[in-house]
Amino acid sequence: MRSLISFGRRLLYALLGLILLLWLLFYIASSTAPLPPHNISSKDVATSRQLLLTTLQHLRRAPGGIALTFDQQQLDALLNVAGYTATKVHFSGHINDYGVALHAHVDASMLWPGRSVRLSCLLLPGAAGFAISHCQLGRLPLSAFLVHSSLKILLKHTLVAPADEQLLALFSKGRIADGKLHFVDANASAIALQLKPNFYQATELALGLTAEHSAMAADVSYYLQQLQQLSRQHPAQRHLAFYLQQLLLAAEQRSQHPQQQLAQYRSALWALIAGFGHRGFIRYANPALSAAQVPILPRVLLANRADLSLHFLYSAALQMLSSSQLSVQIGNLKEILDADTGGSGFSFIDLVADQAGTLLAERLADIDIASVKSLSVAEFEASFMPALSDFSEGLSEQDMKLNYDGFDGEQFQRMQQRITTRLSQLTLYRRAN
């Protein structure tokens, strides 16, 4: 008994020592420096979008090898978009004649109020090729080998082989010339970039979902058949709310016990996304199915607009594949892109539809199915889609700067809060206790 008490005491001291060491390392690595404000423009989004599209096309085709070039303006645009998407991170970088300096400033207030952490790395050409040379976390130096190994593991667990090894080999070919970063390999073959299915499964586990409740929608075919039957029985019906209501009721009847209900709701929502959003989404719902197996269905309306139904469904899909935060930020980036010259303009109405779709996917488990049964189609739509009459659209980037302090200013955040408040008042979802 005495030896057991002694062992417990030593274990307690060891745990306390480890906690103290971690606290000390965090304190050394962090600081009270605030994150710089996000500085994003429609040009940043347009530049990043075009750069990513052309880069992916070039990698997949690799005509006569691979030759990619990135200049400072493109790097700034990519990092601005990445920081805006991550919200709690500010990225910056600089290409000079010797290499590339990259910095990430992370808000760590969740761990310690008022603290932030800065990670910096230098990427330099050397005898063994272009590589991560020096890294530092706050005031703590990090092993370049450790950082490179972490990158290698991340790529291996994210991309279908051999894309991970091909990207690392291409990275090692990097060089600096004329103030630009070049990745050139005349002998490189095409790189088929494809995410591993477990990438999404890991996301689901991080969200606390069991295998039964994962993004894999085992019964999506059943609900696609239901949509096809409904469209034939009601050829004049064009409201997304009608189909959503009917599928939720079918899901409730199909659930043999409450634990199955969420999985059925998710299968039903995936059917709506693939059927009325984009047929290609079916591969994320169930890899055993192809787009050709999704029935051709009529376009549907949300708030009497076809574009809003697409905003709603795409955002719901993004939420189930990633997170609510990422879904909302991608919706914002799309609107920032629209604010560019020649675009349709920034639309707070589109943002409402985006975030309503995100909320539905996030709160499927909180749907008050009893109330769904008693509502008309119009009443049901009002239970998951806020009123839109007091939200503006068609705004140019200049309008956003003058009237909303840009895309991340105080007035813009007030509009975001108005949307959040309006969403919190929706009656489809049971109130949190």
Burial profile 17-28: b = 16 or more Cβ within 10 angstroms, e = fewer: eeeeeeeeebee
**What tens digit of pLDDT does each residue of 279-338 get?**
999 988 988 899 999 999 999 999 999 999 999 999 999 999 887 787 888 888 889 988
Q: What percent of the chain has pLDDT over 90?
A: 61
- Residue 294 DSSP label: S
Report the DSSP beta bridge partners of residue 175. 182
Amino acid type, 186:
A
pLDDT band for 222, please (50, 70, 90 cuts): very high
Q: What mean pLDDT value characterizes the chain?
A: 88
**What tens digit of pLDDT does each residue of 227-254 get?**
999 999 999 999 999 999 999 999 999 9
Write down the pLDDT at residue 210. Answer: 38
CA pair distance 110, 113, nearest whole angstrom:
6
Report the DSSP beta bridge partners of residue 92. 103
Outline where DSSP puts E strands in 79-185: 89-95, 100-107, 116-124, 131-137, 140-142, 174-177, 180-185
What's the mean pLDDT in 180-185? Answer: 94
Find the helix or strand (DSSP H, E) in which 183 lies. strand 180-185
pLDDT band for 433, please (50, 70, 90 cuts): very low
Write down the pLDDT at residue 4. Answer: 65
- Nearest Cα neighbor of 278 from 321, 328, 325 is 321
* Residue whose pair of structure tokens reads 């009656």 in the numeric block: 427
Token duo for residue 182: 């070049």
Yes or no: say if 85 and 326 are a contact pair by the CB < 8 Å rule: yes
- Concatenated DSSP letters of 296-319: P----BBTTBHHHHHHHHHHHHHH
Find the helix or strand (DSSP H, E) in which 424 lies. helix 410-424
Write down the pLDDT at residue 330. Answer: 86
Write down the pLDDT at residue 208. Answer: 40
Write down the pLDDT at residue 7. Answer: 64
Burial profile 215-243: b = 16 or more Cβ within 10 angstroms, e = fewer: bbbebbbbbbebbbebbeeeeebbbbbbb
Outline where DSSP puts E strands in 214-347: none
CA pair distance 396, 86, nearest whole angstrom:
24
Yes or no: say if 163 and 191 are a contact pair by the CB < 8 Å rule: yes
Contacts of 152 (CB under 8 A, 6+ apart): 164, 168
| pTM for this predicted structure | 0.82
Contacts of 328 (CB under 8 A, 6+ apart): 315, 354, 355, 358
**What tens digit of pLDDT does each residue of 32-78 get?**
888 888 788 999 999 999 999 999 999 988 778 999 999 999 999 99
Write down the pLDDT at residue 432. Answer: 59
